[in-house]
Amino acid sequence: MTYGDMNGDLKGGLRFRKMHGLGNDFVIIDARGADDPMSPALARAIGDRRRGVGFDQLAIMLDDDEADAGIVFWNADGSTAGACGNASRCLGWILMEETGRDNAVIRTERGMLGCRRIGDLVEVNMGEPQLRWLDIPLAEKMETKTLALPDGPAAVGMGNPHCVFFVADAEATKVEKQGPLFEVHPLFPERTNVEFAQVIDRQTIRLRVWERGAGETLACGSGACATAVAAHRRGLTDAKVMIRLNGGDLTVDWREDGVYMTGPTTLVHEGIFSADFLTTAAMS
């Protein structure tokens, strides 16, 4: 792996992978055996879709004594994210390709997440949902199944906060207008992802997602999980549902030991960030 002198010197360039899950795209940097190279300025530079590579989330792979890899997630605005479901599946795929096994474990801020290969798809257990107001977190105590906000959305934590609106027509919803308003609502001290869900039947939901720090994305794994949990809590769907996102379909199954999400992963390309790019980004 080209990683400068492996001690944080970026003069030698920095290798990366670009992957996506249903169009939810990621830059993945393997920093195992090296220092974590990331900073808010570098994350913003890489996330620039004209001057960098662009991503919905960036993932740094780190050494871990118990998991196959430790993971830190970044948003394109230079903030960090506690969880990213589709990226977790992509990371699981990388690790399974390395080892030849059909399973892998990653450690995120969410905890230990198990991944496994199911045919051409990858499943990840995103852990148990956070349903208490303090854990999501919310700024004040209230019932999370139906929040005291216009149109009564639900709140669910999946290692990151989610505000789930149930709408009559997802296609007609003005996500680009409503999403940013609720992302920064005072009820969510860490900001929030915002979901707009149309229940088609007890096994199917049409979903559009405004992601915190990224805008509307083609798919959001943690958002799909949060929506499935919120819908089942309200009695609108079964525990296992198909989530139809802009980029394709994910299967989400809320079981006793966690919320399982299954879908495809795609390796787009591998490359190297040049020394000039890294130096300019570090000074910005």
CATH number at residue 224: 3.10.310.10
Same-domain check for residues 121 and 18:
yes
- For β-strands 266-273 and 14-21, DSSP reports them as antiparallel
Same-domain check for residues 29 and 108:
yes
Angle 85-99/221-233 helices, nearest 10 degrees?
A: 120
Q: Rounded to an integer, what distance in angstroms lies between the CA atom of residue 144 and that of residue 132?
A: 7
90, 115, 163, 220: the active-site residue: 220
Q: Which of 156, 120, 96, 111 is nearest to 21 (CA)?
A: 120
pTM assigned to the model: 0.90
Q: Rounded to an integer, what distance in angstroms lies between the CA atom of residue 257 and that of residue 126?
A: 10
Angle at alpha carbon of residue 224, lines to 114 and 40, rounded to 5°: 75
Q: How many domains does the chain have?
A: 2
Is 2 domain-assigned? no
Same-domain check for residues 229 and 278:
no
Q: What is the pLDDT along the chain (284 residues), one digit of tens a residue?
A: 333 333 344 456 899 999 999 999 999 999 999 999 999 999 999 999 999 999 999 999 999 999 999 999 999 999 998 889 999 999 999 999 999 999 999 999 989 999 999 999 999 999 999 999 999 999 999 999 999 999 999 999 999 999 999 999 999 999 999 999 999 999 999 999 999 999 999 999 999 999 998 899 999 999 999 999 999 999 999 999 999 999 999 999 999 999 999 999 999 999 999 999 999 888 77
Same-domain check for residues 121 and 17:
yes
Domain that holds residue 50: 10-125+265-283
- Tell me whether residue 90 is one of the annotated catalytic residues: no
pLDDT at 97: 97
Same-domain check for residues 24 and 121:
yes
pLDDT at 11: 54
Concatenating the DSSP letter of every residue in the chain gives: --BTBSSS-GGG-EEEEEEEETTEEEEEEE-TTS-----HHHHHHHH-TTTS---SEEEEEE--SSSSEEEEEEETTS-EES--HHHHHHHHHHHHHHH--SEEEEEETTEEEEEEEETTEEEEE--PPB-STTTTT-SS---SSS-SSTT--EEEESSSEEEEEE-S-TTTS-HHHHHHHHHT-TT-TT--EEEEEEEEETTEEEEEEEETTTEEES--HHHHHHHHHHHHHTTSS-SEEEEEETTEEEEEEEETTEEEEEE--EEEEEEEE-HHHHHHHHH-
Same-domain check for residues 220 and 269:
no
Is 135 domain-assigned? no
- Tell me whether residue 84 is one of the annotated catalytic residues: yes
| Cα dist from 240 to 49, 126, 146, 166, 177, whole Å | 35, 14, 21, 18, 30
Is 147 domain-assigned? no
pLDDT at 188: 98
84, 90, 163, 225: the active-site residue: 84
Residue 25: alpha-carbon gap to chain centroid: 10
For residues 197 and 165, is the Cβ–Cβ distance under 8 A?
yes
Same-domain check for residues 165 and 75:
no
Same-domain check for residues 23 and 120:
yes
Other C-beta atoms within 10 Å of 194: how many? 27
Is 133 domain-assigned? no
